[in-house]
Amino acid sequence: MTDGRAIGVFDSGLGGLTVVRELIKQMPNEDIVYFGDTGRVPYGTRSRETIKKYAAEDERFLLSHGVKLIIAACGTVSSVAADSARALPVPFFEMVTHAALSAVSATKNGKIGVIGTPATVSSGSHKREILKLMPKAEVTAASCPLFVPLVEEGWCSEDDIVVTETVRRYLAPVIEAGCDTLILGCTHYPVLERAISRVAGDGVRLINPGVAVSKAVADYIETAGLQNSGENKGKHKFYVSDKPDSFKSLASVLLGEELDDGRVEQVDLNDL
């Protein structure tokens, strides 16, 4: 059996492109439809109710494109709105459980750090999942609200003093707690991986949830026999809810490839 439908991916904005990058690496033949809610980013500072409402609208948009599964490539949605998404008519993948699994397999001292948006950290989602897998784990979570604007501004270099000082201040509790493993619990953060690693030091293993979720999706597609084996496969189309200019210009940093005009389109979710 094969399945030519696309994989649906959504995020509050650009961050989910770090997940798309991993998906393309692991499944170059799969078509991908991406929705970035750039008109309403950030989600991470909003209320639970608003995040759930936005996530449901994003999922409805992807379903209107006939996708075969949906990935919430957003740490905030995965932390706050994953339960309601389980009622979707297609399989749903989120970032938290996969990140927790990877962190638990990586840690040697049982001390795991989590960084994410304020909504992600206050949900306690990673801690809950980690403790299910490793009840004696010590989890230290820190919210890093300035990381998303830094990335959206394109300030990501480990040689940029503003970046490294911001990272240093946010990571202090994680370093103080002696964590040997750190979950990058927001999809924007892998872009800051080098700066985070420089501050955290070589002894701290960084977990990019996009890698683990892409592996889980690849395994699911293979086991269920849903690979895309059609003609002209591996197409990637990107939709955004605000003007595409900054999305396109930052895509090369997050996705690792340039996006030309034909591949990014602005849509209005109210038109559905």
**Chain contacts with ligand DGL (rule: CB under 6 A):** 11-13, 15, 41-44, 74-76, 117, 120, 148, 186-188
- The number of C-alpha atoms within 13 Å of 59 and in the hemisphere containing its C-beta is 26
Shortest Cβ 29–ligand DGL spacing (Å): 26
Q: Classify 253 as helix, strand or coil.
A: helix
- Shortest Cβ contact with ligand DGL: which residue? 44
Q: Is 144 a catalytic residue?
A: no
Q: Which residues of 173-185 are buried (b: 16+ CB within 10 A; e: fewer)?
A: ebbeeebbbbbbb
Annotated catalytic residue, options 74, 144, 156, 179:
74
H or E, element range at 89: none
Q: What angle, rounded to 10 degrees, do the helices at 161-176 and 193-200 form?
A: 50
Six token digits for residue 18: 């770090």
- Other beta carbons within 10 angstroms of residue 203's beta carbon come to 11
Q: What's the closest the beta carbon of residue 171 comes to ligand DGL, in angstroms?
A: 17
CB-based contact 88:70 (threshold 8 Å)? yes
With respect to ligand DGL, which residue has the nearer C-beta, 144 or 179? 144
Nearer to ligand DGL, 226 or 254 (CB): 254
* Beta carbon nearer to ligand DGL, 33 or 186: 186
**In terms of CB distance, is 107 or 120 closer to ligand DGL?**
120
The least distance separating ligand DGL from the CB of residue 198, rounded to whole angstroms, comes to: 22
CB 13 within 8 A of CB 151: no
Report in angstroms how near the CB of residue 186 gets to ligand DGL at its nearest: 4
Go through the chain and tell me how many residues it has.
272
Instruction: Classify 240 as helix, strand or coil.
Output: strand
Q: Which residues are catalytic?
A: 74, 186
